[in-house]
Amino acid sequence: MFDSNSLVSLSNRVYRRRQWFNRLMLTLSVAALIFGLFWLFWIILTLIIKGGGALSMALITQSTPAPGADGGLLNAILGSAMMAVVGTLIGTPVGILAGTFLAEYGKRGWLAPATRFLNDVLLSAPSIIIGLFIYAIYVAQVGHYSGWAGAFALAILVIPVVVRSTDNMLMLVPNSLREAAAALGCPQWRIVTMICYRAARSGIMTGVLLAIARISGETAPLLFTALNNQFMSANMNAPLANLPVVIFQYAASPFEDWNRLAWAGAVLITLLVLGINIAARALFRK
């Protein structure tokens, strides 16, 4: 005979066990979220307390000072902006073209999977290794540090981020769009440029913005390439001031005024990265 009572009792025990396990995992997830947010807010609060008082017009209108003198971070801001722009202009086209090959032309054969694997390795490689690489192939050959070397190092950091985002976004474009264009007689290069790029441009631009956010605070590659410059300079063929290295040097100095400038520079980079990430999120939602 079929015993419905035992089945109901068994199902209740299973349900209660699953319900208990679900509550346990939900509690652990919320606890992990609170733990992560706690440290994030602590870092942001520390930056605001330590560096908020040093934010002023002098910070963006005066160059880095000597110990005990007044000054700002204008030369470092200018140097960082120049190297970031050049690095982005070099790395973005390479990344977009490489990602296009992976998504549109490399669907067969071994080259595309091998390239994706190497790109993932490059994406997770420590940035100091990139700095040493540029130092060995460029700085050591020309005999001096320069803004160009720093821009080349940043460009290498931009490439894997843009490759990954371009590849993923183009893979999300429906094949029906490609087939419809091919049925009308469009060559593949026109399908890619006029249809696939337009459909995936928000995602590609998001990848570019995230790459810019990544290179904005990189210190290790610039220590081996651009180094630093105490004075205002726009010469990319000479050592160039930049925010990450200035923050590194000033934070480790025994001078309180330099320490304040280091905290102020950290606030500037944090606000920049936060703004870029917010812009990327807003662009991706569209």
Q: Which band of pLDDT confidence, cut at 50, 70 and 90, is reported for residue 13?
A: confident
Q: Which band of pLDDT confidence, cut at 50, 70 and 90, is reported for residue 286?
A: low
**Per-residue pLDDT reduced to its tens digit, 124-172:** 889 999 999 999 999 999 999 999 999 999 999 999 999 999 999 999 9
User: pTM for the complete prediction?
Assistant: 0.86
**Per-residue pLDDT reduced to its tens digit, 230-284:** 889 899 999 999 999 999 999 999 998 899 999 999 999 988 888 888 877 777 6
Query: Which of 55-64, 76-85, 95-104 shows the lowest per-residue confidence on average (mean pLDDT)?
Result: 55-64
> Residue 281: what pLDDT?
77
- Residue reference for tokens 């936060």: 274
Nearest partner of 155 among 224, 208, 79, 223, judged by Cα: 208
- What gap in Å lies between CA 172 and CA 163, rounded to an integer? 14
Average pLDDT for 209-218: 90
Contacts (Cβ under 8 Å, ≥6 apart) of 160: 95, 119, 120, 122, 123
Q: Which band of pLDDT confidence, cut at 50, 70 and 90, is reported for residue 19?
A: confident
* Most confident listed range (50-59, 61-70, 236-245): 236-245
> Residue 56: what pLDDT?
86
Output helix, strand, coil percentages for the chain, rounded to the nearest 5: 80, 0, 20
Token representation of residue 282:
């807003």
> Residue 128: what pLDDT?
93
**Is residue 98 within 8 Å of residue 168, measured between CB atoms?**
no
C-alpha dihedral sign at 53, 57, 60, 64 = negative
> Residue 9: what pLDDT?
54
Region of 63 (left: φ > 0; alpha: ψ -120 to 50; beta: rest) is beta
**Per-residue pLDDT reduced to its tens digit, 173-213:** 999 999 999 998 899 999 999 999 999 998 899 899 889 98
List, in order of start, the domains of the chain with CATH numbers. Answer: 57-284 (1.10.3720.10)
Q: Which band of pLDDT confidence, cut at 50, 70 and 90, is reported for residue 54?
A: confident
How far are the Cα atoms of 87, 101, 131, 184, 196 from residue 215, in angstroms, in the given order? Answer: 9, 24, 12, 42, 27
